Amino acid sequence: MNPQEEKVKIITEEFVENDEDADVGRQKTSRVQRRKRKKQLPTAGPDEMVSEKSHLGDQQEPGHEDPNADARPLSMPTRRGPRSLPPIPSASRTGFAEFSMRERMREKLQAARSKAESALLQEIPTPRPRRLRSPSEKELETEFGTEPGGKIQTTQQEDDSQSYSRVKFRDSVRKIKSKTPDEEELLDDKDAVDFLLGLDRGAEDIVAVRPADYESVHIRLQKEKELLFIPSRRTVPTYKKLPENVQPRFLEDEGLYIGARLEVPRTNQNIMENRLLMQEPGRRWFGDDGRILALPNPIKPFPSRPLVLSQEQDIKAELETLYKKAVKYVHRSQHMIGSGDPPGNFQLDIDISGLIFTHHPCFSREHVLAAKLAQLYDQYLARRQRNKAKFLTDKLQALRNAVQMSLNPAKTPKSLDTTRRAINEYKSEIRQTRKLRDIEQEKDRTLLKTIIKVWKEMKSLREFQRFTNTPLKLVLRKEKVDQKADEEAYEAEVQAEISELLEEHREEYEQRMDEYRSAHQQWKAWKKAQRTKKKKKKQGVEEHPDDEMEEPYPGEDPVKPVPPEPTNQAVIEQEVRERAAQSRRRPGEPMLVPELSLAGSVTPNDQCPRVEVLRREDVKRRSVYLKVLFNDKEVSRTNSRPLGADFRVHFGQIFNLQIVNWPESLTLQVYETVGHSGTTLLAEVFLPIPETTVVTGRAPLEEVEFSSNQHVTLDHEGVGSGVPFSFEADGSNQLTLMTSGKVSNSVSWAIGENGIPLIPPLSQQNIGFRSALKRADAISSIGTSGLTDMKKLAKWAAESKLDPNDPNNAPLMQLILVATSGESYVPDFFRLEQLQQEFNFVSDEELNRSKRFRLLRLRSQEVPEFRNYKQIPVYDREIMEKVFQDYEKRLRDRNVIETKDHIDTHRAIVAKYLQQVRESVINRFLIAKHHFLLADLIVEEEVPNISILGLRLFKLAEQKRPLRPRRKGRKKVTAQNLSDGDIKLLVNIIRAYDIPVRKPITSKFQQPPRSSRTFSEKQAASPTTHSPTHSADYPLSQVLVRPFVEVSFQRTICHTTTADGPNPSWNEELELPFRAPNGNYSTTSLQSVKDDVFINIFDEVLYDVLEDDRERASGIHTRIERHWLGCVKIPFSTIYFQAKIDGTFKIDTPPVLLGYSKEQSVVAERGFDPVRSLSEGSYITLFITMEPQLVPGESVREKFDSQEDEKLLQATEKFQAECALKFPNRQCLTTVIDISGKTVFITRYLKPLNPPQELLNAYPNNPQATAELVARYVSLIPFLPDTVSFAGICDLWSTSDQFLDLLAGDEEEHAVLLCNYFLSLGKKAWLMMGNAIPEGPTAYVLTREQSHYLIWNPCSGHFYGQFDTFCPLKSVGCLIGPDNIWFNIQRHDSPLRINFDITKPKLWKSFFSRSLPYPGLSSVQPEELIYQRTDKAAAAELQDRIEKILKEKIMDWRPRHLTRWNRYCTSTLRHFLPLLERSQGEDVEDDHRAELLKQLGDYRFSGFPLHMPYSELKPLIEAVYSTGVHNIDVPNVEFALAVYIHPYPKNVLSVWIYVASLIRNR
C-alpha cells in the first residue's frame, strides 16, 4: 500500500462519517447506480471506465461508500475538485457498515419519489448537480477524462489487492438480489428521483441543447494548406544546393578520406533536402558535393559485442575461470592473495622438428656457396612477396595524380593557400617516396645480381672440382614483356621524374635567387654605407688623423653574393637516366625470375676425389642431438640423429614438460657427436617463452638461429669453422665462417583434458614475497598480447581490409608499416598510463629525494639502522642529513674493511664476514619468521578434563594452611607492550665462600714448594696447597676481609652492604632497571642484547688518614678504599633464556691478587665446612631473574633442507620423539643446522683434528699438560653466542675450520673443537649435551682417563672430575661420539649420579644399533686444520695500541683527578705478564709478590692481572672498567697498566691486562 492510497482511504472514511447522516437519499441513489454499473463491471477496461465516468459524474455522492473498486475512484475527483490523488478503491471494511445503512435508506427511498424526475434524468446525458455546472467544473471533468492511463493502471493494480473485499461485497449483493428482484427494477427508474430529492430540481432551466461543432473537411484542408508545408519527394537538382556557378566537388575522388555515409532512403533524403532548402535558404547544410553534410556512418558493420551464447569458444584469457575443487587449506603455503591457487601441474610442449646448419665445419666449399645461395633465395622470396618497389611506385603514381588534381584550379574551391600547402606536402612526399623506391629497386636488382653471381660461382666451382655435392639448381626464368609498352612506361616514368626534378630545381633556384637578391641588396646597402663612411672618413681624417686607427671593423665584410646558376635540364636528364639504368630494368629487357630447386644430382662417392670422400665419411660419422634445458636444468634430450649429407637433421620430437612454476628460461643445447668420441656442445639456443595465448595446435613452427664460436680445422675437404678459407686458388679473398644454423621448433602451452590451457597463473611468475598482483602482465590484461606479433597484426589488417586512410586506423597502420618494413625505429616498450607524466605532481627524483619518505620506507623495511626509529618528523626540513650517514656509509663500505674499531685486521675481516653471514641468514629466515601457527596467535586455556577437575574439587576440601607458602607461577609478559623502565633485573646475592683475605703488608713472604700435581690429585680436589703455616701471621683481632658485592649492568651500579669475613652472607636483593636497545622490546631485539651482568666482589678497606695522633681522641678520619677481588660475568641473554639463574658460581678471581691470599684461618672454620675445603676458588651464591618474566622467543620451526638421507632423517625424528616422551627435559640432539642453513647429522661434526703443533711440542712428555694446554687454547677463542649473532633465529653449528676462521663461536663450537682435539690426542672423548650453570643448555666435553671421567668446560678451559660438586654441569642429556649418539635413560641426570658407561644399553639408549647400523657417515670437518703462525710483530703492535687506548680510557674515567702513571711499575708489570701466561695464571703469586716488594717497597700496591681472549676492544675496556681501579681518588695515587698479548697459532690471542694503583707509603 503506498502512502497515497492510505491517505485516500482516510479521506473517504471522513466522508463516510459526514455524509452518513447528511444525505441519506443520495446514498440510495448511488447504490442504485452501483447496481447498474455492476453489470458492466467484469470488463472494466480503461475505455469503459472513461466512458462510465461521465455517467457516474451525475452522482452527487460518489462511491466513497461504494466498495466497487473499478468505477468508484473515477467519480471521486469529480466530486472533490481537482485532486491529483490517484483514484483508489475504499477498503473493504467500509462495505459492511454501509450495507446495513443502505438497508435503512432503501426504506426511506421507497417512501418518496416521482416518475417524471427519473425520466428527466435519463433524458439528459450529462445532467449535473448544481454545484458542478460551472464551466470550470466542466473543464475539470474533461481534464480528468484525458488523464493518462497511468492512473487507470494504478487503479487496476490496486484492484487486485482489493479483490477480496469485492468478492465479499458481491456476495452480499447477491443476497440482496435474491431477496428483492423487483425492487431492483424499481430502483432503476427511481434513482434519478432520489438524486434530485437530495438536491434542487431546477436543472432544466439552465441547460440548453446544442449540436456538436463540426468543421467541414474541405475547410480544414484549406486551412491546413495555409499553415503547413509538405516538402516534395522529388530529387533536388544539384545546382539548387550549391552556390551559383560552382561545380560539385567530390572529395573522395581527390583521395581524401570520407567515411561511408549512413544509408538513408532516397525519398527521405529528398524530403529533407527540400525542407532544408525551403526552411534555411543559406545552404549551409550542404557540402561541396551537393549532398547533405553527414558524418561517417557510426554503425559498425559487425556487432562489437558478440552474442553471449558463444561464451564457450572464446572467453578471453584473463576472464577464464577454472573449476577448482574445494581445497584443504595449506597453512604453510603463503597466505598472500593470488597464491591461493595450488601449484598445479602445467605443461609446456616443446616441439623440436629439426635442425638445419647454415654452416658446419664439414661444409665443403660448394656447401658454403649453396648455403649462401639458399639464403639469398630466401631473401629474394621474402622481398618478392613484400614487393615494396611496386607498392612505392603505386604510391608515387597516386601522389602525382593528387598533385595534378589539386593543381587544377577549377576543381578546387578551397583557398589558394591551403592548396599550395597541400601541394607542397605532396611534393615533399613524392620526393621521399621516389627516393625510397629507387633504393628498393636497386636493392631488388642487386639481390638478383648477387644470386646470379653466386650461382655462377657455384657452377664454376662444380666444374673445377668435377663433382657436385649439393642438389641445388638455379633456373632463371625469363618473362617476356611487351617491349613497346614497357619502353613507354619507362620513358614516362623518366620524364615524370625529370619534370619533377626540374621543378624542384626551379623552386630551389627561385628560393636561392630570392636569397641572392636580398643578400645582394644588403650588400649593396652596405657598400653604399661604406662608401659614405669612407667619404666621411676622408673628411674626418683631415681633422683627426688618428681616428682611422680606432675605426673598428663592424664584423667581416659582407661578401658579394654570387647569383645562383640556373638549372640545366640536360644535366638533370642525364642524371635521371643514369640512375634509372642502374637501378631499373632496362625497357624491353626480360624480367628474370630465379627459381631454386633441388633437382640437381649429387656425384656419387666413387667418382669423387679422396678428400671429398673423406669429408662425406666424416659427415656420416657425425650425429647431433639437442638437450632441452628448463630453468637451466636439463629436462630431456632428443635422440641422437646422424647428420644428413644436406646438413639437415630431422628430430620431430615433442617434449611435454610438466612444470609447476612459471618458466624463467628455456634453452636448447646443440650437441654434436663425432663417431664414438665425446660430444661437444655446439651452441645454445634460447627459446622464447610463449605467450599465454599460444597453445598447442595453434603454435606455428618457428626457426631460431644459433651460432657457435668454436674453431674447427679439418684435414679433408670440409672448410672448418672459425678458420679462414678461400675460394680462390691463390688463397686470396679469405672467408671465415662460424658454425651456425637454425632450429625449427615450436613452444606452446598444452591444453588440458577439459580444454583449459595448462598455463601457470601469471601470479606465479613472481617468486618470493612480493605481491602477486604487482607483476601481473599488464599488456595481456588489456587483451592485446597479440600486439607483440607484428606479422600477425599485419596479416590481420590485410585480411580485414582496413581502410588505410581512415584516421581511426592511422596509428595502427603506422605501427604495421614501421614494424613490417623493419627499417624504422620500433619502440620496444609499451607505455602504460601515458598521461602519467603530464599529471605528475612531482618528478620521480623529487619523490626519491624526500628524506621523510626515505626514512619511512627504511623503517618499514626494517633496515637495522632504522628498525626501531620512532616518530619520524613530519617535515623534510626537520630531518637531518646525518640520519642517513651511517646507513649510506654502511652501504658504501660493504666491502671495505674497517680497521678502526678492530685494530687487528684479521678480526676486522672476520667481523665483516660474520656480518655477511648474519645478513644472509637473516634474509633466509625472514620468510620463516612470518609464518605463524595458531598457537602463536591464540593462547588457549586447556579445557580441563575430568582428572584435573577432580583434583580441583579435592583441593577444595583440603585443609587451609595459611602459613605454608605456596609457589605461585609468575605471569609471563610478551614483549609487545613494554617500555623503558618496565623491566627490572633482580639480583639476589645470598652469600659467598672463601673470599680471599687480606694479608698484612708486613708479612714475611714464604715460598711454598711448588707441587707438581697430577690429574688424580686435581680431580680428587686436592686439599689446599698452602698449608696453614701462616695462620700465625694474622692478628686475630684484625678483620680478615670486609667484602661487598657490586652489580653493574648497563652502566647502572648497585651494591650490597658490607659484610665481614671470608664467608659473608648478604642475602640482599638488588634491583637494576633494564633498557632494551632503542627501546625495542621485541623478542628479536631482546635476544640480541649483548650486555653482561657484572657481579664484582670488592673488599672495603678503611685507611686511617688522620695526620695527627693527637686528634685521635676527638675525631675519626678514615678513607674508604675498595679493592677488587673478583667478578662473575653473566650474559643477559642467558638470563633471558633461562628466565632465572640460581646457584653457586665460581668467582673469577685474578690469578694474582696482591695483598690478598686464599690462606685462611683454618683453625676456626675448616672443621665444619667440608664442601668449601674441597674447593680451590671463591664462590658466590646468586639468584637472578627478571621482573616481569619475559617470554623468550622461540627458534624458528622451519624445516631446513638437508642432504642427509631421508631414512636417516626419519630415524632422527623417531629417536627424538621417543626420547622426548621418556625424558622431556633432557636435551637430545641428533641433527643441527650448519652455517649455510642445512640440516646435518650431528656426528658428522666429530672427527679427530690435529691441534696446533706448537701446543703439542710444549709438553711432549706430559699428556695431561698437553690436554690442559689444548683446552686453554680452545677457551681462548672468543665466545659469541649464536642467539646474539643470529638473533631469534636458531643455533647454527659451524665446522671447526669455520670456527677457527671466524674466531668466534658458541659453546658447541668450542666443545666440538675440543672434542676433536682430544680425539686426535688419542683420548676417548664425547660431546656432552646438558644443562649447566649459568649457560643453560650447553655442550661440554667428556673424556675418559684411565679409570675415571673428566668433564671439560670448553669455554673456560677448566676441567672437573665426575664427582666434583662444583662442576657447573648439572645435568647430562646425551653423549655424542663420532659414530653414535647415546641418550641418557638413567633415572638421574646429574653427572655425580650417573654412570658414563655407554656400553650398557639399559643406561644409554644409542641411536645406531643393530636394527639401524651406522652407515658410515662422512664428516663435514676438513681433513686437517692448517694453522698459520700468528704474526708476532702484529701482536706486539696490537699490544701497544691496546695499552695506549686503555690508558686514555682510564684518564677519561677520571675527569676530576689527575692521573699519574708510574712508568717503573708498569715496566715491572710488563715483565711479569709473560710469566703469568706461561704458567697459565697459576702459582706465580708469591714470586711476583716478592719481586714487587723488592722493587716497590715504599708503595702500597693494589692491582691485579686480567686475562681474556681477544675478540675486540670493547670487552677489554668493559672489563677494566668493571674492576673499578680508576675509582680511587686518593690525591697522590699513581697508576700502572700493562698489556701483554700472547699470540697462539691461527690468530688466537691471549690478552693479559695488569692494572694497579699505587699509593706511596709515607
In terms of CB distance, is 353 or 850 closer to another protein? 850
CA–CA distance from 466 to each of 603, 608, 646, 732 (Å)?
9, 8, 19, 22
In terms of CB distance, is 761 or 1252 closer to another protein? 761
In terms of CB distance, is 329 or 829 closer to another protein? 329
CB of 773 to another protein, least distance (A): 5
Q: SS in 3 state form for 1329-1346? A: EEEECCCEEEEEEEEECC
In terms of CB distance, is 114 or 334 closer to another protein? 334
CB of 868 to another protein, least distance (A): 13
In terms of CB distance, is 116 or 337 closer to another protein? 337
In order, the DSSP letters of 775-814 are TS-HHHHTT-GGGG-HHHHHHHHHHTT--TT-GGGHHHHH
Torsion of CA 902, 904, 909, 911, to 10 degrees: -40
Instruction: List, in sequence order, every residue forming a beta bridge with 669; answer none if it has no partner.
Output: 627, 684
CA–CA distance from 600 to each of 257, 528, 643, 823, 1246 (Å)?
54, 85, 20, 37, 76
CB-count burial class (<10 Å; 0-12, 13-18, 19+) for 612: buried
In order, the DSSP letters of 96-138 are HHHHHHHHHHHHHHHHS--HHHHHHHHHSSS---GGGGSHHHH
In order, the DSSP letters of 457-468 are HHHHHHHHHT--
In terms of CB distance, is 307 or 1113 closer to another protein? 307
Q: Taking the CB of residue 838, how many other CB atoms lie within 10 A of it?
A: 6
Q: Residue 276: enclosing H or E segment and its boundaries?
A: helix 266-279
Q: Which of 844, 891, 847, 848 is nearest to 866 (CA)?
A: 891
CB of 748 to another protein, least distance (A): 17
For residue 1432, give the 3-state DSSP assignment.
helix
CB of 832 to another protein, least distance (A): 7
CB of 763 to another protein, least distance (A): 6
- The C-alpha atoms of residue 744 and residue 739 are separated, in whole angstroms, by 16
- The C-alpha atoms of residue 1457 and residue 1453 are separated, in whole angstroms, by 9
CB of 319 to another protein, least distance (A): 5
CB of 928 to another protein, least distance (A): 17
In terms of CB distance, is 94 or 692 closer to another protein? 692
For residue 736, give the 3-state DSSP assignment.
strand
Instruction: List, in sequence order, every residue forming a beta bridge with 1068; answer none if it has no partner.
Output: 989
In terms of CB distance, is 119 or 842 closer to another protein? 842
- The C-alpha atoms of residue 1043 and residue 1035 are separated, in whole angstroms, by 18
In terms of CB distance, is 834 or 945 closer to another protein? 834
CB of 661 to another protein, least distance (A): 16
List of E strands, 591-712: 591-597, 622-630, 633-637, 641-642, 648-659, 666-674, 679-687, 702-707
In order, the DSSP letters of 331-387 are SSS--STT--S----EEEEEEEEEEEEEE-TT--HHHHHHHHHHHHHHHHHHHHHH-
CB of 1430 to another protein, least distance (A): 48
Backbone angles phi, psi at 1241, to 5 degrees: -70, 140
In terms of CB distance, is 698 or 1432 closer to another protein? 698
CB of 336 to another protein, least distance (A): 6
CA–CA distance from 489 to each of 388, 481, 585, 928 (Å)?
19, 12, 12, 80
1008: left (phi over 0), alpha (psi -120 to 50) or beta: beta
CB of 982 to another protein, least distance (A): 25
Q: Residue 747: enclosing H or E segment and its boundaries?
A: strand 740-749
CB of 301 to another protein, least distance (A): 20
Instruction: List, in sequence order, every residue forming a beta bridge with 1094; answer none if it has no partner.
Output: 1048, 1129
Q: Before 1188, cis peptide (omega within 30)? A: yes
CB of 839 to another protein, least distance (A): 5
Euclidean distance between the first and the last CA atom of the chain, given in angstroms as a whole number: 118
Q: Which of 357, 350, 368 is nearest to 650 (CA)?
A: 357
CB of 772 to another protein, least distance (A): 7
- The C-alpha atoms of residue 1456 and residue 1533 are separated, in whole angstroms, by 13
- The C-alpha atoms of residue 675 and residue 541 are separated, in whole angstroms, by 104
In terms of CB distance, is 256 or 847 closer to another protein? 847
Quickly tell me which residue has 695499552 as its cell: 1443
In terms of CB distance, is 85 or 776 closer to another protein? 776
Q: SS in 3 state form for 187-209? A: HHHHHHHHHHHHCCCCHHHHCCC
In terms of CB distance, is 325 or 480 closer to another protein? 325
In terms of CB distance, is 379 or 785 closer to another protein? 785
Site residues (vs another protein, CB under 8 A): 305, 308, 311, 315-329, 335-338, 340-341, 761-763, 771-773, 776, 781-783, 832-833, 835-836, 839-844, 846-847, 850, 853, 856-857, 859-860
In terms of CB distance, is 18 or 843 closer to another protein? 843
Backbone angles phi, psi at 1014, to 5 degrees: -120, 175
In terms of CB distance, is 708 or 1082 closer to another protein? 1082
Q: Are 452 and 594 in contact (CB under 8 A)?
A: yes
CB of 324 to another protein, least distance (A): 5
CB of 837 to another protein, least distance (A): 9
Q: Residue 621: enclosing H or E segment and its boundaries?
A: helix 610-621
For 174, which DSSP code?
H
In terms of CB distance, is 791 or 857 closer to another protein? 857
In terms of CB distance, is 335 or 1432 closer to another protein? 335
CB of 308 to another protein, least distance (A): 7
Half-sphere exposure of 632 (CA within 13 A, CB side): 1
CB of 1416 to another protein, least distance (A): 44
